[in-house]
Structure 1
Amino acid sequence: MHPVAFIVYPGFELLDLSGPAAVFNGANRALGERGRPPAYRVAIASAGGGAVASSSGIEVETGSIAALEPGEACTVLVTGAEREPLLAAVADPALRAALPGLTAAPGRFGSVCTGGFVLAALGLLDGHRIATHWDSAVPLAKAFPAVTVDAEALYVVDGRLWTSAGVTTGIDMALAMVAQDLDAAIAGEVAQRLVLYARRPGYQSQFSPVLTAQAKAESPFADLIGWIQANLAAPLDVPALAERVAMSERSFHRKFVAATGATPARFVETARLDAARLMLSRGLALKAVAVRVGLYPPARLTEAFERRFGMTPSLFRDMHAEL
């Protein structure tokens, strides 16, 4: 059994706990269906133990963090919260006394969302690269200059340290842990049971152009963006896209930039390269990827990939392909 301890405190974000915990429980279920024993045992700990209310008002029953022995939990994750509950957690003497010992033991440790502030305040993130919610990246980097904050990544793995960005990305990080501990097939099955659109890799950006467009009520491009992502192999130049939304090319270009923050050409290339990274991480051949994402011949994909990411698609596949 692989014990997993979530550290919570009054006002914590419930999804930071429930999302990853559901992943570990799902992995146990998948193993059981294969006739194998469960792999994870989840515990929830707080400074004083007992019932702890989340920001949504839902309470969870916890054990005392002081009762956790160093090394007892193979994975220790601190949940996040909004500013006031987080400041209270950072100042809590019981958390400050217990966390250094828990994270010093062999095994993984880290945070979900803004939980990184708690670890950073104890100097446990110094010299490390971490992820956190995009809205907290600048404050965390300013407050703790010894920490390198990746403001875009969904989650970051730096040795034993695992940190994720905002709320739902804790699910992505937990799935990556399951894939590492067990295998990618189990992680994929858990993702399917949770009705996730896809297992998102850590390098994927927090900033979704689809959400950016949808967040602007006046934007006429939400449907078009969905169509682009479903038809990456189609001609996606300005004349074709403008015709699809019944606009002049000049008007389309201007309004698209205002809605998404990117030119149509840049947006399309980003969508194609993001899809290419996902396909490459699944081991697809370079030629097949180039055809599917509309960057054929492969030399065209390679040129765009190197320009954007500083490495060849083949090297990226070797580094990230799922086993």
Structure 2
Amino acid sequence: MRRIVFIVYPEFELLDMSGPVAVFNGANRALAAHGEPLCYSVELASAAGGPVASSSGVVVHTRSLDDAAVQAVDTLLVVGAEREPLLQTMEDPILRKTLPALAHQAKRLGSICTGAFILAGLGLLDGHRVATHWDGCAPLAQAFPALNVDAEALYVEDGRYWTSAGVTTGIDMALAMVAYDLSAAIVGEVAKRLVLYARRPGHQSQFSSLLQAQTKADSPFADLIAWIQAHLDAPLDVTVLSEHAGLSARTFHRKFVAATGATPARFVETARLDAARLLLTRGVPLKSVAARVGLFPAARLNNVFERRFGISPRLFRDMHASL
């Protein structure tokens, strides 16, 4: 059994803990369904132990760090929180005294969201590449210059150190851990049971082009953007998009740029490349990827992909298809 210990504290972000816990529990259920032995034992720990209330008011029961350190730990993960509870926890004398020893003996050490600040404050991430919530990347880099903060990645694996970006990315990181420990097949079953839209590899940006555009766009374009995402294999030039939006081509182009910060052509290309990267990580053949994202033939996909990312789609697939 791999012992997974989550470190929580008053006002912690509940989803930082519950999302990954659901992944590890889901892996156990998938194994049991195949008649195989369970893999994970999940525990919650805090500085002093006992009941700990999350920021949402849900209270969880925890072991003390001293008690948790009695047995060997496979994976130790520190969850995140908003600024004030995070700062208070970073100064907790019990945590500062007991967490480093537990962290050093863990086979795998990491954090979800702003939990990276706690590990960094103890000097446990020095010299390593790390991820955290997009809003905390600059403060983390400024406060701890010995860290290499990746402001783009959903999660980062740097040897035994695993750190994720904001909140739900803890689920993506936990899935990657399960894939590393067990198999892609088990991960697929877990993701399906959790009704995840897609498994997201760590290199994918925190900043979804679709979400950013939907957030910034006026309401008529929010619907159009969803339509674009569902029709990437169709012609999506300005004429087609403006007709769908019910505007003249010139007016559409001007309003779309003002609303999203990108030209229609650039936005469509980004959406297609985002979809292409996801398909490539699943090992989909290049010709199929090109056809499904509207960059056919494969030579066109190759040219656009290399121009944007500086790497061929084939090499990208070879590097990431196992994630």
Give TM-score, length-normalised by structure 2.
0.96
- After the TM superposition, which of the residue ranges 205-214 and 152-161 deviates more from structure 2? 205-214
User: 1:315 is matched with which residue?
Assistant: 315
Q: Give the number of aligned pairs.
A: 323
CA positional deviation for 1:18? 0.5
Q: Distance in 2 between matches of 1:137 and 1:244?
A: 38
Q: Distance in 2 between matches of 1:31 and 1:285?
A: 29
User: 2:112 is matched with which residue?
Assistant: 112
Percent pairwise identity = 70
Deviations 1:43-94 (A, max 9, x none): 1000000000100111100000122227711000000000000001111122
Q: Residue type of the partner of 2:20? A: P
CA positional deviation for 1:106? 5.0
SS in 2 for 1:132: coil
User: 2:296 is matched with which residue?
Assistant: 296
Q: Distance in 1 between matches of 2:288 and 2:39?
A: 36
Q: Distance in 2 between matches of 1:206 and 1:61?
A: 31
CA contact (8 A) 2:114 2:136 kept: yes
CA positional deviation for 1:229? 1.3
CA contact (8 A) 2:236 2:268 kept: yes
User: 2:23 is matched with which residue?
Assistant: 23
User: 1:62 is matched with which residue?
Assistant: 62
Q: How does 1:1-323 map to 2 (within 5 A)?
A: 1-69=1-69, 72-216=72-216, 218-322=218-322
SS in 2 for 1:20: helix
SS in 1 for 2:6: strand
Taking a change above 3 Å as real, the CA distance of residues 217 and 283 of structure 1, as seen in their structure-2 partners, is closer
CA contact (8 A) 2:134 2:151 kept: yes
Taking a change above 3 Å as real, the CA distance of residues 217 and 285 of structure 1, as seen in their structure-2 partners, is closer
CA contact (8 A) 2:73 2:106 kept: no
CA contact (8 A) 2:210 2:271 kept: no
CA positional deviation for 1:220? 1.4
Deviations 1:201-232 (A, max 9, x none): 11111112332333347331122111111111
Taking a change above 3 Å as real, the CA distance of residues 70 and 290 of structure 1, as seen in their structure-2 partners, is farther
SS in 2 for 1:278: helix
CA contact (8 A) 1:210 1:222 kept: no
- After the TM superposition, which of the residue ranges 43-52 and 142-151 deviates more from structure 2? 142-151
Q: Distance in 1 between matches of 2:310 and 2:106?
A: 34
SS in 1 for 2:247: coil
Give TM-score, length-normalised by structure 1.
0.96
CA positional deviation for 1:261? 2.3
Q: Distance in 2 between matches of 1:156 and 1:201?
A: 10
- After the TM superposition, which of the residue ranges 38-47 and 232-241 deviates more from structure 2? 232-241
Q: Residue type of the partner of 2:148? A: T
Q: Distance in 2 between matches of 1:70 and 1:263?
A: 58
Q: Distance in 2 between matches of 1:238 and 1:217?
A: 17
CA contact (8 A) 2:75 2:106 kept: no
CA positional deviation for 1:322? 2.4
